[in-house]
Structure 1
Amino acid sequence: MFQSFDTKGGPADPARLASLREELAARGLDAILVPRADAHQGEYVAPHDARLAWLTGFTGSAGFAIVTTAKAAIFVDGRYKLQVRSEVAEEITPVDWPATRAEAWLDDHLDDGARVGFDPWLHTAKEVEALKARLEPRGIEIVPVTPNPVDAIWTDQPAPPMGPVTLYPEELAGRDRAEKCREIAETLREAGEDWAVLTLPDSICWLLNIRGSDIPRNPVAHGFAILEAATGAVRLFMHAEKLAKIRLDGVDLLPPEGLVAALATLSGKVRVDRESAPWIVGDTLASEGIALSWAPDPCLLPKARKTEAELAATRAAHLRDGAAMCAFLRWLDDAAERVVQGGATVMEIDAVRALEEFRRAGGDLLDIAFDTIAGSGPHGAIVHYRVTEATDRALAPGELLLVDSGGQYLDGTTDITRTIAIGVPDEEQIAAFTRVLKGMIAVSRARWPKGLAGRDLDALARAPLWMAGQDYDHGTGHGVGVYLSVHEGPQRLSRTSDIPLEPGMIVSNEPGYYREGAWGIRIENLVAVEPAPDLDSADPARDMLAFETLTWVPIDRRLIDVDALSPGERAWIDAYHAGVERQMTGRLDAETAAWLGRACAPL
C-alpha cells in the first residue's frame, strides 16, 4: 500500500521535552529552534529529519518549535490551526504564524544576554539574519550548534536516506543535461557570477535529468551541487551508492560531507539562495573572504517554465489519473448510496484505500503525490487532515467528503481535490460550495497582461467568498513539477507571490471554504499558463496570458446552485463537463462511462 496509517495517534512523549532541556543546559543554551526542515529546506522530510514530529507529535508539512528552559511553543499557519491542537501535548503552546514571528516570540520570552541555539544546516541565512536583527541589540546571542541537540537525545533516530537514483528520459524532459547546464552557466555569466551553489534537491534533479527516492511521495535525491559559470561543469555532492546503477557523464561525483571544504576553495563571486541554502553555506564563504551573490536558485525559473515535451507528458498523465478519479467517484457514489440507505458503513480510510487502488490499477503509478486527504464532516475543515486509525470516522448522510489526492507518474505529477455530497446536501453547504466554484471558475477563465504575478490573480478566487464575509487561510494555488515535487516554487497563486506568471508554468487552482466543526469545501484543478487565444477586440500591442486546464474530472453537480451562477459560469461548467466526457472516451468501463454521462449532464 502506498498509504500508511499511524495506529498510535496522540502527542509525542512529553518526557522528550525534559530530555531536550537537559541537553540545552549542558550546552549553555537558553532556547533552541526546532524546524520541520532538512538541509535542503524541502516541504517533505525523510524519517531521519522528522525532528519536529518526533519532539512534538505535529505531523503537518510546515511549522517549527521553540523550546526554552521554561516554555515550548509550536508555530503553524492557518492550514494547521485545528490539526495542531489534536496532535501536540498540553505542554506545547500553538502560536499563529506568520502573524507571530520567531524573533518576536523570543524577544518576549527571553532575558537579555540569553543564548539561542540553531542547527546551521537547518536554517537559511534569511531566517538567521531576522533573528539577529531583532535579538542581538538586547545581547541575545544566536549560536550555531552541532551536533543537533534533538539528534543527541533521539536514540533510535532512523538513518539518513540512501534511495537509488535513476535517469529521467530526455524525451520527457525535452532537454538534455548538458543543454540545461549551459543555460544555467550563461545565466551566471550574465549576472557576473562565477559559481552557483545548489541545495534544493528538485533543482538538482531537474538540472541533471535524474530522479531519486530519498523522500516519500517526492522523487528527489538528497545532495548538493556546485556549478561553474565558465564551463557549465557540475560537482555533485551525493553518496555514490545512490548512483551505483547509472552514469552521469561530465559530472564530478563527491561525498556530501565534502561540500564545506569545497566551498572554501572557490574564488570569484558565488551565487547562493538566501531563502533556501543552509546558513552554513554563506557563513563558510564569508569566513573565507569569498564574494557572495545573494540571488535566487538559478534553476527555479527554467524548471518552472515547462518544455512542450513536459507539458505533453503531464497532459497524458492527467488523462490516466482522471480515469482513475472517475472510477473512484463512481465507487464513492455507490458507497454513499448504501450509507444513506443504511446498508453499509464506509470509513474515511476505505475511501483512501479505494482511490489508491484505482490509481494503481492503471499500472503506471509510481507513488502517490502526497498522503491522501479524505476528510468527512468536521475533518474536512482541517485543511491538511490526514486520516489515521485513531481519527478514522464513518461517512454519514448529509455530510461532505473532501478528497485531496494526487499521483506520481513518470510523465507527470497530479493534484486534484473534489468535495462530494454524501446524500442530500443542505442549503448552506450548496451556497458555500457554489461560491468556491465561482472563484475556481474565475481563475480558470482569467485573461491577464503578461508580467502579472500570482498575487494579482489570487483575489479572483476569493471575491465570491468575500462578498459573503468568508475567506480561506491558504494560498489559491501552488506550482507543480513534472514527476518532481507536487509543491514547486517559485510560481504560486497567493497574496504574497510577486513572481510573474509565464507560459509553461503549472499551478493549482484550489479555492476553498472551511466551517470549523462542520465541513470543508475545496475544488482543485491543475492549470498551465499559456498565451491567451486571440480575440477580435484584443490590443495587438499587449501580450495576454491565460490558463489551460489539465485536470479532467467532474465536479459534483448536486452541490451547485445553478441560479447563483452567471450565464458565463454556467457555460464554463457545461463546457468543462463536456470536455471531461470527451477526454475520458475509451478510458472507462461501460458502467463508469454511464455514470460519467450522468455526472457531466448539462446544468
Structure 2
Amino acid sequence: MPSRSTTNLLKQLRSFMQNASYVNETIQAYIVPSSDPHGSEYLAGCDEHRAYISGFTGSAGTAVVTEKQALLWTDGRYFLQASQQLDENWTLMKEGLPQTPSQGTWLTKNLPMGSRVGVDPKVYSHDKFVSLQKVLEGAGQKLIPIEGNLVEAVWVDRPNRPTNPVHPLGLHYTGMPLKNKFRDIQSAMKEKHAKYLVLTKLDEIAWFLNLRGGDIKYNPVFFSYVVLAENSYVIFINPKQYNEEIGQHLKAESGDIKFQVESYESIGCYLKEISKNVDGGFVWFSDAAGYDLTSTIPKKSLLTEMTPVQLMKAIKNSVEIEGMKRAHIKDAVALCCYFSWLEKEVASGAKITEISGANKLEQLRSEQEDYVGLSFDTISSVGPHGAIIHYSPSESTDVPITNQTVYLCDSGGQYKDGTTDVTRTMHFGTPSDLEKKTYTLVLKGQLQLGRAVFPSKIKGNCLDSLARQFLWEVGLDYGHGTGHGIGSYLNVHEGPMGISWKPIPDDPGLDAGMFVSNEPGYYEDGLFGARIEDIVQIVPANTTYNFNQRGFLTFHTITLVPKQTKMIDVAMLTDREIKQLNDYHVECRQKIGPLLEKPGYMEAKQWLWKETEPISR
C-alpha cells in the first residue's frame, strides 16, 4: 500500500483557506471527515474527500489541515495501513490510545486564541459539530461552517454522484409492508411530540420504503431523504432514479398514507418551509444528520437523537430472520467450495494469488440463489497482509497464497434474503507455535462470547471483555471492536448496537431478533493476522431463574463454516470448549453437508468432513 504525494494538494487547500472566494474570513484549520451527507460509513467515489486529500483509503478517519501541519486520526483497525499510505506531510494520530489527544483537544492546544476552524456542514454531523463547537469556544476559538467543500475545489476529475437503478424488495423478503412500518414510526413520533421525522441515513430509508439500490459499492442503498409527517411522507430523490415501477410499489405498500416525490437537492428548502409551521412540536433528526440540515430548524423545535427506524431495523422480523439464516447457509456452501478448491490448488503448486482467490470466491457466491453481490471488498490476505486489519489486495500488493504462511479471508455476500460476513484463518502447510497459540487464544475468546448468557437490554460493551480475556491474560489484545450489527440485505455494518471495548453512545441494549458479529482477532505486524468471525442471532436463553423478570438472552451462531482445527493447540482448550467446537462442526455437517451432495460439490463435502472431524486431547 504505497503512499502518494499530497504536497501540491495541501498547498492548494491551504491557499483556499485564506482565499476570500472560498471563505469569508481566513481559517486556521480545516477538518475533513470520512463521511457524506448521510453519515455513511462506506462512500461513493464523489464523497471520498478525506481519502483524496490524505492518500489514506481506510473507511474511518478524520483529517485536520492547518497552516503548517496535516494530521490524520484513525482507529486501531487502520494504524498499519495509514502508516503505509500517508506520505511525509502527514502525522498519524492513533485514536483510542491514552496518549493521543482528541481533535478538539489538539486544536485548542495548538492553535492560538481567536482561531477559526472550518468544516463542510453537509458532511459534518450535528452531534460532532455541537460537541466540537463547545470545546473550541471554551478556548476562545470558533467552528465555522464553510459553504462549499474546500477539498472539492482542489479535486480534479471528481466523480459525479451516482444515480443507479432503484428496485422494490418484495414482502417475501421484507416481511412487513411500508404502511405497517409507518404506523410504528408514527407511534414513536407521538411519544416525542415530533411533527416531522427526517430520515437522512440511507439504510434507514431503504428499509422504510422496502426499496434497494446500488449508489454505494457493496451497499444496496440509494441517495435520498425522507420526511415523515402525521399522515404522509415525502421522498427526495434524483428524478432519474424514480420510475413507474417504484411508484406502483409505493402506492401498493402505502395504503391510505399519502406520499409525494421531490428532487434530491430540494431537501434544504423543504426543511426551511416546514420549520415555519412546527407549532410547538419538534422536527426529529438523527444526531448523525448533517449540520447543514439540522441548522435550518430553530433550536426550540429541533430534536436530535437516534431515530425509531434504527432500532426497528435492527430487530429483524420472522421473515427477515429466516432469510438471514438461508443466506448464511448458501454462503457456507460457497465458502466450503472455495476453501476446498483453494487447499487443493495450493497443494498442487498452482499460482493462486490474493486477488485470483477472491475472484474465485465471488464466482462461487454468484452461483447461489438470490445472490446480488459482495457485501464489502474481500479481505484476502497472506502472511503480513493479514496483520493489516482491513487490507484489500491490489495489483501492486497481490501475492500468491502458499503453504508457507497464514491465510486470512474476511468476506461477505449480499443476497436478497440477507447479508453475510464471515472470517476464517487457515494455514495450508504447518503453522508455527506462535500462530497456533495466538489463534487458539482468539478461538477461546470467540467460543466464550458465543456461549454467553446475559440479561436482556444489556449494553454490548459489557460483553466485550469475554472475547479478550484469554489474550489479555498473556498481555495481548486487538485494536478493533468485537461485534457489529448487520443488515438484512442492507449494510454489512449496522447500528445502533455493537460489542466493543469502548461505549457505543446509541446502543439501546441487546435484544432478541438482533444479529451481530462475533469476531475477536490478533495481529502480529509483519508476520500474520488471525481473526475468526461468525454472525450470531440473539435469542432467548433457557435459564433456571429470571431475576426481576428481566429475561435472559444468548447467541445462536448462524455462520456454518468449519474453523480449521490444524490451527488449534488442543492442549489449550478445556473440555467444555472442545465439546462446543465439536457440536458446532456437527451442525455444519448436518446443515451444509446435504447441500454438497450434487455433481461438482462432492470434493467440498469431503473437505467439510475432513475439517469437522471431532477433536480431543
**What TM bracket, shorter-length normalisation?**
over 0.9
What corresponds to 2:563 in structure 1? Answer: 555
Distance 1:195 1:295 in 2: 13
Distance 2:559 2:344 in 1: 23
What corresponds to 2:255 in structure 1? Answer: none
1:597 aligned residue (599, 606, 609): 609
Cα offset, 1:542, TM superposition = 4.8
What corresponds to 1:18 in structure 2? Answer: 11
* 1:224/1:238 contact within 8 Å kept: yes
Say which SS state the counterpart of residue 576 (structure 2) adopts.
helix
Larger CA deviation: 255-264 vs 457-466? 255-264
Q: Does 1:277 align with 2:289?
A: yes
Larger CA deviation: 302-311 vs 237-246? 237-246
Letter in 1 for 2:176: R
What corresponds to 1:58 in structure 2? Answer: 56
Q: Does 1:371 align with 2:377?
A: yes
What corresponds to 2:471 in structure 1? Answer: 465
Distance 1:518 1:46 in 2: 33
Letter in 1 for 2:466: L
Letter in 2 for 1:279: Y
What corresponds to 2:271 in structure 1? Answer: 263
* 1:116/1:142 contact within 8 Å kept: yes
Cα offset, 1:269, TM superposition = 2.7
* 2:272/2:296 contact within 8 Å kept: yes
Q: 1:441-460, aligned counterparts within 5 Å?
A: 441-460=447-466
1:439 aligned residue (433, 436, 445): 445
* 1:165/1:211 contact within 8 Å kept: yes
* 2:562/2:588 contact within 8 Å kept: yes
Cα 1:539–1:72 change in 2 (3 A) is closer
Report Cα offsets for 1:380-400 as digits up to 9, x if no partner. Answer: 111101111111123344321
Letter in 2 for 1:236: I
Q: Give the structure-2-normalised TM-score.
A: 0.92
Distance 1:465 1:146 in 2: 48
Cα offset, 1:564, TM superposition = 1.2
* 2:287/2:304 contact within 8 Å kept: no
Name stretches of at least 5 consecutive residues in structure 2 with no aligned partner: 252-257
Cα offset, 1:536, TM superposition = 5.1
* 1:372/1:403 contact within 8 Å kept: yes
Distance 2:326 2:51 in 1: 36
What corresponds to 2:254 in structure 1? Answer: none
* 2:285/2:294 contact within 8 Å kept: no
2:414 aligned residue (408, 413, 419): 408
Larger CA deviation: 362-371 vs 159-168? 362-371
Letter in 2 for 1:584: I
Distance 2:205 2:322 in 1: 22
Q: 1:60-79, aligned counterparts within 5 Å?
A: 60-79=58-77
* 1:9/1:388 contact within 8 Å kept: no
* 2:482/2:500 contact within 8 Å kept: yes
Larger CA deviation: 95-104 vs 200-209? 95-104
1:518 aligned residue (523, 527, 534): 527
CA RMSD of aligned residues (A): 1.7
Cα offset, 1:537, TM superposition = 6.4
* 1:504/1:530 contact within 8 Å kept: yes
What corresponds to 1:479 in structure 2? Answer: 485
Q: Give the structure-1-normalised TM-score.
A: 0.94
What corresponds to 1:4 in structure 2? Answer: none
Distance 2:28 2:77 in 1: 30
Distance 1:314 1:389 in 2: 34
Aligned sequence identity (%): 36
1:568 aligned residue (566, 576, 585): 576
Q: Does 1:236 align with 2:209?
A: no
Distance 2:50 2:468 in 1: 33
Report Cα offsets for 1:361-404 as digits up to 9, x if no partner. Answer: 33532110000001211111111011111111233443211100
Cα offset, 1:499, TM superposition = 2.7
Say which SS state the counterpart of residue 117 (structure 1) adopts.
strand
What corresponds to 2:262 in structure 1? Answer: 254
Q: Does 1:351 align with 2:351?
A: no
What corresponds to 2:303 in structure 1? Answer: 293
Say which SS state the counterpart of residue 82 (structure 1) adopts.
helix
Report Cα offsets for 1:390-419 as digits up to 9, x if no partner. Answer: 111233443211100000011100000000
Say which SS state the counterpart of residue 17 (structure 2) adopts.
helix
Distance 1:399 1:54 in 2: 33
Larger CA deviation: 14-23 vs 245-254? 245-254
Report Cα offsets for 1:404-440 as digits up to 9, x if no partner. Answer: 0000011100000000013000111111111111111
Distance 1:23 1:174 in 2: 51
* 2:200/2:289 contact within 8 Å kept: yes
Letter in 2 for 1:282: T
* 1:552/1:579 contact within 8 Å kept: yes
2:327 aligned residue (317, 336, 343): 317
Report Cα offsets for 1:130-167 as digits up to 9, x if no partner. Answer: 22222223332211111111111213111111112111
Distance 2:3 2:137 in 1: 38
Cα offset, 1:450, TM superposition = 1.4
Q: Does 1:189 align with 2:199?
A: no
Distance 1:194 1:256 in 2: 21
Distance 1:380 1:91 in 2: 27
What corresponds to 1:329 in structure 2? Answer: 339
Distance 1:24 1:542 in 2: 55
What corresponds to 1:3 in structure 2? Answer: none
Cα 1:564–1:152 change in 2 (3 A) is same
Distance 2:180 2:433 in 1: 56
Cα offset, 1:13, TM superposition = 4.0
Say which SS state the counterpart of residue 418 (structure 1) adopts.
strand
Cα offset, 1:108, TM superposition = 2.5
Larger CA deviation: 416-425 vs 277-286? 277-286
Cα offset, 1:191, TM superposition = 1.9
Cα offset, 1:88, TM superposition = 1.7
Say which SS state the counterpart of residue 513 (structure 2) adopts.
coil
* 1:204/1:225 contact within 8 Å kept: yes
* 1:451/1:500 contact within 8 Å kept: yes
1:305 aligned residue (305, 315, 321): 315
Say which SS state the counterpart of residue 484 (structure 2) adopts.
strand
Cα offset, 1:274, TM superposition = 5.3
Q: 1:126-165, aligned counterparts within 5 Å?
A: 126-165=127-166
Name stretches of at least 5 consecutive residues in structure 1 with no aligned partner: 1-7
Distance 2:221 2:540 in 1: 31
Cα 1:53–1:540 change in 2 (3 A) is closer
Report Cα offsets for 1:263-294 as digits up to 9, x if no partner. Answer: 123214334445310012221102xx651122
Say which SS state the counterpart of residue 138 (structure 2) adopts.
helix
Larger CA deviation: 270-279 vs 246-255? 270-279
Cα offset, 1:92, TM superposition = 1.1
* 1:48/1:160 contact within 8 Å kept: yes
Letter in 2 for 1:326: C
Distance 1:591 1:306 in 2: 35
* 1:330/1:592 contact within 8 Å kept: yes
* 1:11/1:88 contact within 8 Å kept: yes
Letter in 1 for 2:540: P
* 2:199/2:225 contact within 8 Å kept: yes
1:546 aligned residue (551, 554, 558): 554
Letter in 2 for 1:386: S
